[in-house]
Amino acid sequence: MNSESAVKEAIDDRGPITFAEFMEIVLYSPNGYYTSGSPISANGDYFTSPSAHPLFGAMLAIQLREMWRLLGSPDKFQVVEQGAGNGVLAADITDFASNLDAEFGTALRYLAFDVAPPPDQHYQVLPLTELPKDITGCLLSNELLDATPVHRFEVQNGKLLEIFVGHDGAEFIELLQPPSSTEIERRLTPFLNQLSNGYRGEVNLGVKDWAEQQSTILHSGWSLAIDYGFDRPTLYRPERETGSLRTYYQHTLGQNPLRHAGRQDITAHVDFTALDEAMTAAGFTTTGMTTQAAFLSRMGIESTLDQLRASALPRPEKRANEAGIHALVDPEGMGRFAVAAHSRNVGSEGLSGFSDHASDPTDLLPDVPVLKPGRHINLTGPQQGGGYFEVQSLEKLFSDEP
C-alpha cells in the first residue's frame, strides 16, 4: 500500500488524524519517504553536514576522544549514532579515529542505527531492534529530531487550535480542532498573547519518549544532538508566523506537506528547550548548547583549514574541499545549527566544544581528511537540477563568534 492509501485508511478508520500521525505514516510507514529510498546524497533531495565534508566527522572524533579521556581512557568506549541514514558520518568518524590516536581507535566501538536503514550504506547501519542498553560512551545524532513527527497548531482569536488532517473525497485537507494534548497548550500558553491571528507553528511531543530511550541506552557518558532549531522563545517569536515546517520534493523547498504523500520530505525546527526539559526529566544534566560553527571552531577546524590550504592538493580539489568546509560553518546555513550536549553519570568537567578554551588539534591531525568521491558531495561541481553552489570567502566566516 502506498503512503497516500495508508493515510486515507487511517482517516477512514478513526476520522481526522493529527499532523504527527500523518507525518509518521508518510515518512516512516512501509513505502514512506525514508523507508523507500535514500534521500540524502549528492543526487538526493538535500545534503547534510556529513556529506558536505569529512572534517565534520573528524571534529566530532576529536570531541569523542576527549570524552573517552575524561572517562579515564577505558578499554571500550561505545558510540551509538541514531538516525545514521546512509552511514557517512559513522564511516568518517571511524576512519579518522584510529589515525588520530591508535589507542582511542582501538577502544572505539561505533554502532550506527536508523529506523529505516537505506540500501546504499557507507557503514553498516543497524535496525533499532538491535539498540544496546547501558553503554559507556556517547549517543550521537545529526538531523534526526527535525525528521520526527510534529503536531501543528494555529492561533485563532487568541485561542490555540490544532491542525488535523482529513480527506474531502478528492484530497487531504486541514481541519482545526481543539488540541489533542494538554502538553501542546502548556508549551504555547506563555506566548499566546503575543501571537497574531492565523499564527502557525509546530510542537514535537516525541522528544519525551526519545529522551527516555536515550537514558536506557546510555549508562554513563554524553549525548550530542545536532540539528536546526532554537530555544522555545525564539522558535515561537511573533514574526515567525508561518512556523518552521518545510518540505523537500525533487530538490525543491515547499510548504505544503499534504501533497506528494510519501514522496517528499517533511521537517520542522527542533524546540531545544523541549529537548532540554525532556533530557533533564530522563536523568541527564545539561552540558551546554552552542552553534555548529562555534563547536567546529573550538574543535580546531580553522587550523585544519590552514593545513589543507598549505597542502599539495591540486587547486580544483582544494577549492572543492574549501567549499565543503564553508558549508559546515556557513552562518546562513549549517553553521547556524545547534549542538546540544547532555551528560549522565559523569563528572562535572566541561567539553571543549562547549567551552571557550578552544583546543588546537593541529599537532594531532596526521592528515586532513579530504572529500571522497561517492561518499561526499562536491559543492563546486554542477548540482542535480542544474546550477552551482555559491562559494564564498572563508576568512570572514571565522571572524566573529556567532
What region, left, alpha or beta, does residue 251 occupy, with left being phi > 0 and alpha being psi -120 to 50 degrees? left
User: Which residues ranging from 201 to 240 are in contact with ligand SAM (CB under 6 A)?
Assistant: none
User: Which residues ranging from 42 to 61 are in contact with ligand SAM (CB under 6 A)?
Assistant: 48, 50
Among 3, 29, 82, 343, binds ligand SAM (CB under 6 A): 82
Would you say 143 or 276 has its CB closer to ligand SAM? 143
| Closest approach of ligand SAM to the CB of residue 42, in Å | 12
Best CA proximity match to 335, nearest among 362, 308, 297: 297
Choose the stretch contacting ligand SAM; rule: CB under 6 A; options: 110-118, 164-172, 193-201, 281-289: 110-118
Number of residues that bind ligand SAM (CB under 6 A): 18
DSSP string over 10-73 = HHHHHSSEEHHHHHHHHHHSTTSTTTS---BSTTSSB--HHHH-THHHHHHHHHHHHHHHHTT-
| Closest approach of ligand SAM to the CB of residue 37, in Å | 10
Q: Which letter, b or e, does each residue of 245-261 get, where b requires 16 or more Cβ atoms within 10 Å of its Cβ? A: bbbbbeeeeeeebbebb
Would you say 67 or 225 has its CB closer to ligand SAM? 225
| Closest approach of ligand SAM to the CB of residue 160, in Å | 26
User: Which residues ranging from 126 to 155 are in contact with ligand SAM (CB under 6 A)?
Assistant: 128, 142-144, 147-148
User: Which residues ranging from 372 to 401 are in contact with ligand SAM (CB under 6 A)?
Assistant: none
Query: Residue 40, interface with ligand SAM (CB under 6 A)?
Result: yes
Query: Residue 24, interface with ligand SAM (CB under 6 A)?
Result: no
Would you say 179 or 223 has its CB closer to ligand SAM? 223
Question: In degrees to the nearest 10, what's the CA dihedral of 137, 340, 322, 51?
Answer: 70
Helix (H, G, I), strand (E, B) or coil at 329: helix
Residues 330 and 120: their CA atoms lie apart, in Å, by 28
Residues 122 and 99: their CA atoms lie apart, in Å, by 18
Query: Residue 84, interface with ligand SAM (CB under 6 A)?
Result: yes
Q: Count H helices, E strands: the chain?
A: 13, 17
Residues 116 and 86: their CA atoms lie apart, in Å, by 10
Choose the stretch contacting ligand SAM; rule: CB under 6 A; options: 107-115, 238-246, 285-293, 311-319: 107-115
Would you say 40 or 203 has its CB closer to ligand SAM? 40
For ligand SAM, the binding residues (CB under 6 A) are 34, 40, 48, 50, 82-85, 113-116, 128, 142-144, 147-148
